[in-house]
């Protein structure tokens, strides 16, 4: 029996019928990512953004995270791994309709991130800034919603954030919110009112310090 045969690609007939829920086998995920390997480990790979519009339980998201973390390990000095691994998380976005899949995708992303740091002896317990910032980035970037309508599970516009690097302060992030709708070609004017956040070290991003009072 091959590895693919052991994977659970369908959870139930009802879910296939209602939500088109058939998971892509691991080997195909890897083949598809090979097509964009330069964005996963080439120049500037850390900040190359990815969006999975039907994230399921996160098989693409986790494979992207794993490849980027492997590239961090290979190409960046160890002292910067915590910071750069957070910028990696900040670059990966997802939308998923179903609550259970969404929860699984978020949990598996966090587990993959923690595993990376544990393997390298970096403290990443629940009380560390590293853990909290990672959980916050995942919660903000991997949303439960409907890609077709652009709304989240509460019926509000899906809002993401760009996590821009401050060019003058290494490791500092400038959070810039945007709606998913604003990315679409037909959205000429973005009338949404966004919160403004003070620049901060990426490992403190969960503290959400506002700059608009």
Ligand X SMILES: C[S@@+](CC[C@H](N)C(=O)[O-])C[C@H]1O[C@@H](n2cnc3c(N)ncnc32)[C@H](O)[C@@H]1O
Which parts of this chain interact with ligand X (CB under 6 A)?
19-24, 54-56, 59-60, 95-98, 101, 146-148
Answer yes or no: are the C-beta atoms of 171 and 83 closer than 8 Å: yes
Least distance from ligand X to the Cβ atom of residue 57, Å: 7
Least distance from ligand X to the Cβ atom of residue 56, Å: 3
Least distance from ligand X to the Cβ atom of residue 161, Å: 19
Choice between 59 and 179, CB closer to ligand X: 59
Name the residue whose CB lies closest to ligand X: 56
Least distance from ligand X to the Cβ atom of residue 11, Å: 9
Choice between 155 and 213, CB closer to ligand X: 155
Choice between 4 and 196, CB closer to ligand X: 4
Answer yes or no: are the C-beta atoms of 163 and 69 closer than 8 Å: no
Angstrom distance (rounded) from CA 150 to CA 141: 14
∠ CA 204-62-80 to the nearest 5 degrees? 40
Q: Which of 54, 65, 102, 109 is nearest to 87 (CA)?
A: 65
Quick one: CA torsion of 201, 204, 208, 213, rounded to 10 degrees? Answer: -50
Choice between 151 and 187, CB closer to ligand X: 151
């Amino acid at each position: 029996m091959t590895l693919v045969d052991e994977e659970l690609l369908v959870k139930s007939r009802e879910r296939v019928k209602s939500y088109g829920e058939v998971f892509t086998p691991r080997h195909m995920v890897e083949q598809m990512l090979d097509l964009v390997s330069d964005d996963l480990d080439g120049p500037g790979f850390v900040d190359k953004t990815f969006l999975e519009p039907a994230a399921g339980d996160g098989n693409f998201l986790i494979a992207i995270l794993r490849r980027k973390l492997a590239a961090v390990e290979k190409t960046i000095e160890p002292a910067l791994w915590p910071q750069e691994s957070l910028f990696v998380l900040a670059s990966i976005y997802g939308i998923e309709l179903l609550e259970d899949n969404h929860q699984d995708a978020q949990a598996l992303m966090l587990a993959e991130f923690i595993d990376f740091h544990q393997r390298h002896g970096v403290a990443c317990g629940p009380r560390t800034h590293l853990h909290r910032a990672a959980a916050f980035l995942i919660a903000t970037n991997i949303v439960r919603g409907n890609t077709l309508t652009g709304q989240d599970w509460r019926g509000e516009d899906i809002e993401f954030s760009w996590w821009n690097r401050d060019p003058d302060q290494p490791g500092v992030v400038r959070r810039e919110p945007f709606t998913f709708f604003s990315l679409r070609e037909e959205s000429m004017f973005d009338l949404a009112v966004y919160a403004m956040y003070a620049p901060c070290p990426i490992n403190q991003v969960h503290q959400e310090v506002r700059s608009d009072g």
